[in-house]
Amino acid sequence: MVDETALFPMVAGMSNWSRRFGFLGLVAAAWLAGVPSTAAADGGTRAVRVEAAACPEHAAWAAAAETLANEWYPRLGNLLASDIAVELPRVRIRIDPAYRGVAAASGAEIRIAADWVKEHPEDARGVVIHELVHVVQAYPENREGWITEGIADYLRCAVFEGRPLREFPRPSGESPYRDGYKPAAGFLFWLESTRAPGTVRRLNAALRNGTYGTNTFREIAGAESTDLWRAYCEALERPQQSLPPDPRRFFHDSQGGGEFAILSEGLWVERQQGREVWRFREVARSGESIELLDEARPMRLRLTAGEVQWFRDGLWTPLYSGRWTAAPGRNPGSEP
């Protein structure tokens, strides 16, 4: 039984992470639309049931959570596929007014506290994803609970919620990633996106087939986990470059040369060799980046100080390198 409050005390304060970016997760999982590698035992579309009989005031939330769970359950199975065939069991999620934790998974049954649903309805959706990961994992007993929880929060926070890497906490102390959850998830996210793509799948396979050992991280990423954690923290401590004061045109030399330029407030265009090819809506902006979304494909891009990045498979991946160039005399509402 995986009890989120008893196994690791640091679950306290999870409500600070209730801000969500659910659509980013859908973009990240778009590639999973092909033939699934795992399937529900009954082959039906309602592999997950969410019950609110003991607290009917949560019936609407339960119905929405059930739809979400059935969309994501097979995707999580695909992301954690291994050479050992795993059949996804039918899952029962029960909203329990008597449960005083947050949530817990035992076999194919999940309990989630009714009070948590009431007080943190959006965060509770992420909790459902986290607990479904535990059902998919179904590991034999192991002593690496931090990896078990780290993988669950990686799939919840990095893939489903689409959180950027810099949002994951990096506590001080000796090997804090061994507390699991979001510190471990950020560590795994960094390994996936930089040092050792495929880390999560390989760790999952090692825990599933009982081959995880003291040399596993060295085999996967070329160093001990403590050294990798140190490298991760050092990499994230480097300051990000800021955008120019008025970012309006980003040029790159890929595919014969192209640009991203603002057309009007909130609307951007991509041109290649002077010809318009795509339009994007600006959905987020900070001092270090601008995020653009093409809802039709769907595709999400991020413009940074020197790079265009593509959100794909749960990661921000470099697409083009380039530079910002001023566009004197242009107004926000005019064609660049």
User: Where do the domains of the chain lie?
Assistant: 2-236, 249-324
Q: Is the pLDDT of residue 14 over 70?
A: no
DSSP per-residue string spanning 204-237: HHHHHHT---TTHHHHHHSS-HHHHHHHHHHHHH
pLDDT of residue 234: 86
Q: Is the pLDDT of residue 204 over 90?
A: yes
Count helices and strands in the chain by DSSP H and E runs: 10, 13
Average pLDDT of the chain is 82
Least confident piece of the model among 18-32, 135-149, 183-197, 214-228: 18-32
Decide: 130 and 153 in contact? Cβ < 8 Å: yes
pLDDT of residue 315: 58
**Three-state SS for 330?**
coil
pLDDT of residue 163: 87
Report CA-CA distances (Å) from 175 to 81, 111, 166, 322, 326: 28, 30, 18, 37, 45
Q: Above pLDDT 90, what percent of the chain? A: 60
Please tell me the CATH code under which domain 2-236 is placed.
Answer: 1.10.390
The pTM is what?
0.62
Q: Above pLDDT 70, what percent of the chain? A: 81
61-101 pLDDT per residue, tens = 999 999 999 999 999 999 998 877 778 999 999 999 999 89
Average pLDDT over residues 8-36: 33
pLDDT of residue 320: 87
Angle at 20 between CA 24 and CA 123, to 5 degrees: 135
- Residue 221: name the closest of 199, 188, 236, 201 by CA: 199
Q: In what order do the strands lie in the sheet with 91-96?
A: 2-3, 103-106, 109-113, 91-96, 48-51
In whole angstroms, what is the distance from residue 292 CA to residue 290 CA? 7
Per-residue pLDDT band for 39 (boundaries 50, 70, 90) equals very low
Per-residue pLDDT band for 45 (boundaries 50, 70, 90) equals low
pLDDT of residue 314: 54
Q: Token match 């179904």: residue?
A: 138
Least confident piece of the model among 202-211, 244-253, 320-329: 320-329
Long-range contacts formed by 44-47: CB under 8 A, 24+ apart: 45/70, 46/70, 47/73, 47/74, 47/88, 47/90, 47/91
Least confident piece of the model among 154-158, 210-214, 252-256, 278-282: 252-256
In whole angstroms, what is the distance from residue 185 CA to residue 213 CA? 19
Report CA-CA distances (Å) from 94 to 112, 122, 259: 6, 17, 51
pLDDT of residue 192: 92
Phi, psi of 143 (to 5 degrees): -100, 10
pLDDT of residue 26: 33
Enclosing H/E stretch for 133: helix 121-137
